[in-house]
Every structure is written in C-alpha cells, then in structure tokens.
Structure 1
C-alpha cells in the first residue's frame, strides 16, 4: 500500500510538472524546434529524478545512442521507454498516430520536435514528405523512432512485428538501431503501481541499410526480443515463448 501511494504521488506530480515545463518553455518552443527539444529533455530528466527518489525505480541507458540520421526501432512497454530513448539522443522524433496531434500539450510539442503524424494506410506519403522537408532544409534531420509492434506490449506477451517497419527502413535508406528494454516489469502499461528496481533501455548494434525485407525483419525481431528477454530476466521476469 505504501508503494502504491508513493506511485500515485509520483504520477500526480509528473502531470503537474508536464504542464509547468510546457508553459515555461512555450515561448522558446514556438520560435524554434530547439526550444521544444530542450523542454522535452528537461522534462524527461525531471521524471527520471523524481521516479528514483519517490518510488525507488532507477533508470539506465546501455549501449551507444546514435547521434546521426538513423531509424530507431524499439521495443515499447510503457511511457518510460519513450522518455529514456528520446532523452538519450540529440534530435529524436517519432512516428505517431495522427490522433495524438490533438492531445493537449503532448501533441503540439511532438509536432515541434519533428514527429510525423500518420493516418492508417498513409504512412508512405507522410514519410516521403518528411524526407523531402529534411532535404530542402525545412526540417532538421535526426533520429526517427518507430515501434515495430505498433503499440505497448506487456512483458511476456507476444505480438507480431509489422512490415511497415521494413518499408520505412527501405524508404529511408538509413541504418537501423534496434533498442531493447525491460521497463514494463516496473512501469506497466496500465495501473498506478511503480515497482522499485532498475529499468533499462539498451541500444544494440546498428543494422546497415540495404538488407532484403525478410532478412531485415527476422534480424530486427530476433535481436530486440532476445535482448529484451535478457534484460527482463535480469529484472527477475522470465518470458515463456
């Protein structure tokens, strides 16, 4: 019960802090994407700090986060892995559902950092526009983050990897950096409780561009799932596949 109450207090202040950071950085974010990135990085660091002393959940980033133009294909278990991955790279941006554009604060900041809203079935057109904008100088390059399973997946649950990730890999012509995580063991998809422990995201060796689609998808899934299972086992959770 004490841990649940500590978790509730953490969540409450997390959303209050989101509002405060959004307001404080708003003038800078309006005139420059750099301001939006600064706001999101500062807010992420605040969340990690308060998470540690309020709930006992520590965070760690392993591997080498990329700094150049790459696609990041990540395991997604909760909101925490979004912040950990984003905070580890200089200019992260996301493939996101178009509906999130209309989320208060979150949607507007996501657009300012260069995230790409997509309608179901129209991802190709959205990515083509993003590539054209980067080439013309209308938008900065950066690290494009995508979740191959398309949604948050609880530890131990199997969900297929969507072929859209391979299409994006081919269209971008950039290296792909797989990312594994165990954060869902401590910060679940739903509910209040945040468990003490060590939540990790791990950047794995990059996959060079140019692989055939089937080979790329097989390698991506094997590497992300294998590393995520290892990190979850380290946290005391053993997936049965």
Structure 2
C-alpha cells in the first residue's frame, strides 16, 4: 500500500516537473548541441531526485562507468535505466527502436541529443546508416549504448539477444562492456507501482572486439544476466 501511494505521488511530480524541462530543452536544442546534453542530464538528475525522495530508490554502481568510446550493452528490465543513463554517462549515444523518435517534441530532442533510431525491419541499409552515425559519435569520444534484448524483461527472465546486436558489435570494432542490473525488482514492467530499494548496475569485464557471432552472443547474454543467477 505504501509503495502504491508513493508511486501515485511520483507520477504528477515527475511528469509535471518534466514538462517545463522538456520545453526548455527544446528551446535550448534549437541553438546548442552541448546545451541539449546539459538539459538531458538535468532531466535525468531530476528523475533520480524524485525516485530517491519520493519512492525511496537508490542506485549502486559496481565497477567503473567510463565515458569513453566503448560499446555498452545493458540488461533491460525497467524504464528507470533508460532515463538514468543520461545521469551516469555524460554524453551517451543510445541505439534504440526508431518508434521513440516520433514521440512529439521529446523525439526531436532525443535525436538532437544523440539517440539513434534503428529500423528493425530495415535490413542491411538501416544497419549501415546506424553504424555510420555511431562512428561519428565514437570519433567525438562518446560511448555507444544498446539494450540488446530489445525490450524490457521481468527480473529473472533471460530473453535472447536481438539478431542485430552481433552485427553492431562486428561493424563498430569497439571493446564491449556488458552491464547487468536488477531494476525489475523495484520498478517492474507492467505496473506503475515502484518499490523502495537499491538498483544495482554491475559493470562486467570488458570484452575485446573481433569475436565470432556465437561467441559474443553467448558471453554477453551470460554477462548481462549476472544478477539473475
């Protein structure tokens, strides 16, 4: 009952406070890319502040998050981590489904910030376009982030990785860092009720580029599910 009450309070506070931030971010994004990054981080910090004070959620990072041109692959259990990425990284470039870019106002700002929308049915042409844009970001020293499972899973589930993941890994030729997490324990999908507790991001050992498709798939799948064991 207490978790439900907290969650009901969180919704208007977070989304109501997000509205002026997003409007201001749109105005800033018209003139400044660096300002867009600043506003994205401000919004993410506001989200974490609301989660911390209202919901009683804290984040613990095990290992080191490096703001370098690395390919990060995250476990995906909640909407929480998709927003929190803007706080724990400085200027991340996230590869996500292209449908996110059609969200009014927010989608344009996200694209301006660096979100790369991939067409999962677009085949090789869509993949080449994503890689071209990702390489530009890497040249600027920015990390690339993907949720290789494609959609959120309940904690304990271990869905297979999307087929395009191995192609991105091969073409980017970057060291890969898997990140396991357990956000589904406190902010599960399919319900608005979020519980108090600690979300752990467990940064796993870096994996070198150049591995075969099956090898990289198996190693990453095991690594991002490390907190599910």
1:85–1:201 contact (8 Å) kept in structure 2:
no
Partner of 2:185: 185
2:118–2:130 contact (8 Å) kept in structure 1:
no
The yes-or-no answer on 1:229 pairing with 2:228 is yes
Partner of 1:61: 61
Q: Distance in 2 between matches of 1:203 and 1:108?
A: 30
Gaps of 5+ in 1: 231-241
Q: Distance in 2 between matches of 1:214 and 1:58?
A: 36
Q: Distance in 2 between matches of 1:59 and 1:149?
A: 22
The yes-or-no answer on 1:204 pairing with 2:197 is no
Q: Distance in 2 between matches of 1:180 and 1:173?
A: 22
Q: Distance in 1 between matches of 2:203 and 2:175?
A: 13
TM-aligned CA deviation for residue 133 of structure 1:
4.7
The 5 Å alignment of 1:67-146 reads 67-122=67-122, 124-133=124-133, 140-146=140-146
Cα RMSD, aligned residues only: 2.1
Aligned length: 228
The 5 Å alignment of 1:130-169 reads 130-133=130-133, 140-169=140-169
Give me the TM-score of the superposition, normalised by structure 2. 0.90
Give me the TM-score of the superposition, normalised by structure 1. 0.86
Q: 1:130/1:192 Cα in 2 relative to 1: closer, same or farther (>3 Å)?
A: closer
Gaps of 5+ in 2: none
Q: Distance in 1 between matches of 2:173 and 2:124?
A: 14
Q: 1:74/1:114 Cα in 2 relative to 1: closer, same or farther (>3 Å)?
A: same
Partner of 2:14: 14
Describe the SS at the equivalent of 2:72: strand
TM-aligned CA deviation for residue 136 of structure 1:
6.6
2:75–2:224 contact (8 Å) kept in structure 1:
yes
Q: Distance in 2 between matches of 1:141 and 1:116?
A: 16
Q: Distance in 2 between matches of 1:47 and 1:135?
A: 30
Q: 1:51/1:229 Cα in 2 relative to 1: closer, same or farther (>3 Å)?
A: same
Partner of 1:234: none
Describe the SS at the equivalent of 1:31: coil
